[in-house]
C-alpha cells in the first residue's frame, strides 16, 4: 500500500466530508464514505473519470470559487461555503498532497457541516431583530386612540413578521361559545372572521384544557390531530390550515382569550411561539382598555334599566344617517304604566318597561332602539323600505300581544331622511297619541287625569 492509499484509508472513516481531485485535470479520484453517502453513491467508481465540479456542484463548468492556485503542501486554506446541491453550510479546509511515487499532486478538501451553527446564528439574529420589531409595532399601535385599532395593528405586524397567512383573536361570548373578534389576513388569503362566530364549545375545548395548564398550542401538521381532536381538525381543515400556533391570553391567571397565527413556516414555529408569548401581555392590556372603554360607553350611551340606547345614543345614531337614504321612525308609549306602578308597585312597572323594550329589541334590533323618557321608546330605522317597516310593525303587534304588553305606536316613513329629525319625531309622536286615544276608545278604559301619558 503506497503513501496515497494510506491517506485515503485514514480519511475514509472520518466524520467529516472529504474528497480529492487531480490538481491538473480536476478529475475526482477519491470520496470518503460520508461524502459518498450524502451524494447517494456506492463507490468512487460510480463517478470514475468525472470532474469534481460535475459531481459535487452538478455544474458543467469549473467552479468560479476554485482556489487550486492558492494551495500548497503542508498548509490548509480555510473558508466557508453553502452547497445548494446537498443544502448544507460547510467550513472547508483545503490542502495539497503529492504522491511520492508518481509525483502527481492532489487537492484534498475536508468539509465540516456547520448548517446547525449557521441556523443558530440566523435564529440569534432573529431574536436580536425581535426587540426592534416589538418597539416599532408598539410605537405604531400606541399612536392610535382606539384599542380596537391598536389590536388590529399588532395582528398585522405579527402576521407580516412571522410570514403567516392569518392572525386573529378569539374570545368567549356570553353564551360560553367562541367568537373570532379580530383578524388580519395576508394578501390573497380569504377572511374567515364571519364564519367563526359563536363556535360550539367542543371545537376549542381541548385547547382550553391545554391553556389552563399554562401551555400553548403548536402544531406543525394538523394531520397529527385528526383522530385526537376531530372537531378542531375539521374546523382547521375547512380553512386550509396546515400548521398553527395558538397562544392563551391570561388575566388574573384566567384565560380570557387566545390568539394565533395560521400557516407560519415550519422552520420558525419556535420563533413564532416566542413572539406570541412576548406580545400576549400587551394584547391583554389592550383588551382590558377596550373593555373599560366599552363600559364607559355603556354608561354614557345606554339606559340604565333597559340597556337600550339613551338620548346620547340616539343623537349619535342620527348623525350617521345618510340624508339621501330612506328612514323610518317608530314612536312608542307604554300604556297603563302609571296604573301598574300605583297598583302593583314600581318593580312591576319596571318589568313592564323591560318587556316592552325587549319586544322592540327583538323586532328592530338591527336598527336603533332607544328609551327617551319614562314610558317612551323610540326606534329609528336608517335605510329601510316602506314594506319592510310595515312588516316589522305587524311583527311587533304580534309579539307585544304574546308578551302581554300594551304600547301605543306612531309610525312615519320617508324615502329621504333630509327632513329635520325634530319634525319627524313630532309627527310620529302625534300619530302615537292618536293610536293611544283609539286604544282607550276601543277598550273603554277611562284615562285618569293624572295618567295623561300613561
Whether CATH 3.30.70.270 fits 311-451: yes
- How, if at all, do strands 327-334 and 376-382 pair? antiparallel
Domain 3-113 homologous superfamily, CATH: PAS domain (3.30.450.20)
Helical packing angle, 337-344 and 346-364, nearest 10°: 140
CA distance 93 to 222: 43
CA 19 centroid distance within chain: 51
- Of the options 3.40.190.10, 3.30.980.10, 3.30.450.40, 3.90.1150.10, the CATH number for the domain spanning 119-299: 3.30.450.40
- Cα(155)–Cα(185) distance, integer angstroms: 9
First-last CA distance in the chain: 119
Domains 3-113 and 119-299 share a fold: yes
Determine how β-strand 376-382 pairs with β-strand 407-414.
Answer: unpaired
Q: How many helices (H) and strands (E) does the chain have?
A: 13, 14
Q: Taking the domains of the chain in order of start, what are their residue ranges?
A: 3-113, 119-299, 311-451
Tens-digit pLDDT string for the chain (454 aa): 677 888 888 899 888 999 999 999 999 999 999 999 999 999 999 999 999 999 999 999 888 788 999 999 889 999 888 888 888 888 899 999 998 888 899 999 999 888 776 655 655 555 556 556 666 766 777 677 789 999 999 999 899 888 899 999 999 998 999 999 999 999 999 999 999 999 999 999 999 999 999 999 999 999 999 999 999 999 999 999 999 999 999 988 899 999 999 999 887 888 888 889 888 888 998 899 899 888 887 788 888 899 999 999 999 899 999 999 999 999 999 988 888 888 899 999 999 999 999 999 999 999 999 999 889 999 999 999 999 999 999 999 999 999 999 999 999 999 998 878 888 889 999 999 998 888 888 877 655 443 444 4
Amino acid at each position: 500500500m503506497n503513501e496515497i492509499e494510506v491517506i485515503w484509508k485514514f480519511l475514509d472513516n472520518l466524520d467529516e466530508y472529504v474528497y480529492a481531485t487531480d490538481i491538473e485535470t480536476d478529475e475526482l479520484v477519491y470520496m470518503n464514505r460520508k461524502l459518498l453517502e450524502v451524494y447517494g453513491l456506492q463507490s468512487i467508481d460510480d463517478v470514475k473519470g468525472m470532474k469534481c465540479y460535475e459531481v459535487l456542484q452538478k455544474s458543467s463548468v469549473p467552479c468560479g470559487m476554485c482556489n487550486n492556485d492558492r494551495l500548497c503542501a503542508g498548509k490548509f486554506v480555510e473558508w466557508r461555503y453553502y452547497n445548494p446541491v446537498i443544502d448544507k453550510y460547510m467550513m472547508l479546509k483545503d490542502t495539497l498532497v503529492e504522491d511520492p511515487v508518481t509525483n502527481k499532486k492532489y487537492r484534498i478538501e475536508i468539509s465540516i457541516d456547520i448548517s446547525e451553527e449557521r441556523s443558530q446564528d440566523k435564529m440569534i439574529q432573529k431574536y436580536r431583530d425581535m426587540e426592534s420589531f416589538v418597539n416599532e409595532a408598539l410605537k405604531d399601535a400606541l399612536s392610535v386612540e382606539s384599542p380596537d385599532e391598536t389590536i388590529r395593528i399588532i395582528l398585522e405586524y405579527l402576521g407580516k413578521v412571522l410570514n403567516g397567512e392569518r392572525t386573529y383573536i378569539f374570545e368567549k361570548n356570553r353564551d360560553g361559545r367562541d367568537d373570532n373578534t379580530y383578524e388580519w389576513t395576508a394578501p390573497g388569503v380569504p377572511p374567515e372572521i364571519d364564519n367563526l362566530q359563536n363556535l360550539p364549545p367542543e371545537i376549542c375545548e381541548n385547547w382550553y384544557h391545554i391553556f389552563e395548564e399554562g401551555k400553548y398550542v403548536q402544531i406543525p401538521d394538523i394531520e397529527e390531530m385528526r383522530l385526537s381532536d376531530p372537531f378542531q381538525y375539521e374546523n382547521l381543515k375547512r380553512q386550509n390550515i396546515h400548521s398553527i400556533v395558538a397562544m392563551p391570553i391570561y388575566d388574573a391567571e384566567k384565560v380570557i382569550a387566545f390568539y394565533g397565527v395560521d400557516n407560519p413556516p415550519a422552520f420558525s414555529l419556535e420563533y413564532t411561539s416566542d413572539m406570541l408569548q412576548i406580545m400576549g401581555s400587551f394584547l391583554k392590556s389592550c383588551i382590558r382598555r377596550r373593555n373599560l372603554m366599552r363600559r364607559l360607553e355603556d354608561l354614557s350611551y345606554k339606559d340604565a334599566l333597559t340597556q337600550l340606547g339613551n338620548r346620547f345614543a340616539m343623537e349619535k345614531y342620527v348623525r350617521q344617517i345618510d340624508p339621501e337614504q330612506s328612514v323610518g321612525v317608530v314612536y312608542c308609549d307604554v300604556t297603563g304604566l302609571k296604573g301598574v306602578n300605583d297598583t302593583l308597585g314600581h318593580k312591576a312597572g319596571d318589568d313592564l318597561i323591560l318587556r316592552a323594550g325587549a319586544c322592540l329589541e327583538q323586532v328592530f334590533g338591527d336598527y336603533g332602539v332607544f328609551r327617551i323618557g319614562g314610558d317612551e321608546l323610540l326606534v329609528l330605522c336608517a335605510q329601510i323600505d316602506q314594506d319592510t317597516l310595515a312588516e316589522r310593525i305587524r311583527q311587533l303587534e304580534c309579539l307585544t300581544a304574546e308578551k302581554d304588553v300594551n304600547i301605543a305606536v306612531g309610525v312615519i316613513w320617508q324615502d329621504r331622511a333630509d327632513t329635520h329629525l325634530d319634525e319627524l319625531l313630532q309627527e310620529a309622536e302625534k300619530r302615537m297619541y292618536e293610536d293611544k286615544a283609539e286604544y282607550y276608545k276601543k277598550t273603554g278604559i277611562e284615562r285618569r287625569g293624572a295618567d295623561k301619558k300613561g
